[in-house]
Amino acid sequence: MNDDRKDLKVIKTAEKVKEGKKWGYHWPVMLAVIIASVLNWWIGHLIFTRVSICGAEWLDIVGTYLWALWWVFAFVVWGYWPFNKIENWWTRGVTMLGVAWILGVICWYLASKLVDLQTYGFPILAGLFFWVVVTDFSFHLWGETPAPKKAVLDLLLWYSLVITTIIVLPDPGLIPAWWFIPTQWLLGSGIIAYWGKNMKGYETGIAFWTINLAVVFLIVAIASLLGHFNFSLEAPYASLTGGYSLYFLIWFGAGCSFNWSVFVIFEGWPWRRIKPPTLGAIIGFIGVIIIQIIAVLVSVAVTKHIWPPAGPGDTYYLMQAFVLAYAGVHWGFAIPLCFPSKRTGFPPTWSWEE
């Protein structure tokens, strides 16, 4: 009897330790994301108010950290090539992140010599992220092709598609970026993998974009009802690319910062306890939206305190709030992806079926 009690005590202790690890490990990672985001925003402000690349300080900050993040995405879909032979976890992560930043800044600088980035900066970046998600995160094109062959094929395809998109779409060739919020939810929560477990590859891709566009429709509809989006059926493209308020833009930035990172860093907790999984994922999405709203309020309060508006038309502090809220998109992805442990990696190491 005593032995049974001892065994039971050991089991309970192990369960407590396991549960503690689920929460104890993750908060420092999320704190690192928040600190890195704030530092990125403030250091970027200090640098680009003195040295300008495109002529707009806020756009230089956003452009450099987004292009750097895009390179992180590229390295991940290439199986961490060319860093996959670096065995030390920290060395590989630091090297990969450093190279991504160097390439990101170089690409932003070179692009400024070819085009007006205040016009075409976001169309280029939106196109790069859109096509990497289409080809590698939803339809898994060339999934079995090893690097460096896959890297060459991907780069040729991505940049060709970006150029084509800019030419084909109405000027300035911008793909509306609102799809990125449901993309992060579907991938970061792992719910698309759960829904598509019995589907073929292309079927999962079709389901991914069908759900994605449905969520975008809901977001635009609700934002329009709240007065923060002005969608028009008479000019759908123009309204999708320019019919938003600055507060909606800040909310979008906060959404890009948290919709993936919260699910990945915390391994779906606490929402993965909710059954069925679809309900858990939806409630989790709503929970992260609440986090986004809080992030918007904090960002606006901080920047308004630093740069009090001189009048009703002074929106500089709102643009800075967007840059601050949006900085998390880089670090919320980059830290878990560059330093993928068994606990916070991608694809997720946990499942809704657990």
Sorted by where each begins, the domain ranges of the chain are: 54-175, 177-354
What's the length of the chain? Answer: 354
Cα 76 from Cα 346, distance rounded (Å): 9
Cα 134 from Cα 137, distance rounded (Å): 6
Task: Provide the β-strand partners of residue 229.
Answer: 244
Locate 36 and state its tokens: 């890195």
Residue recorded with tokens 């999962």:
204
Residues near 316 by beta carbon (within 8 Å), at least 6 away in sequence? 307, 309
Residues near 299 by beta carbon (within 8 Å), at least 6 away in sequence? 250, 253, 254, 321, 322, 324, 325
pLDDT, tens digit only, all 354 positions of the chain: 444 444 434 333 444 434 334 434 588 888 999 999 999 999 999 999 999 999 999 999 999 999 999 999 999 999 999 998 998 888 999 999 999 999 999 999 999 999 999 999 999 999 999 999 999 988 988 878 888 999 999 999 999 999 999 999 998 899 999 999 999 999 988 888 889 888 877 889 999 999 999 999 999 999 999 999 999 888 999 999 999 999 999 999 998 888 888 888 888 888 888 889 999 999 999 999 999 999 999 999 999 999 999 888 899 999 999 999 999 999 999 998 998 765 555 555 667 766
Cα 210 from Cα 203, distance rounded (Å): 10
182: three-class secondary structure by DSSP: helix
Of the chain, the end-to-end C-alpha distance in Å amounts to 32
Q: What is the pTM of this model?
A: 0.88
- Contact assessment for residue 102 and residue 108, using Cβ atoms and an 8 Å cutoff: no
Q: Which of 340, 351, 346, 348 minimizes the C-alpha distance to 29?
A: 340
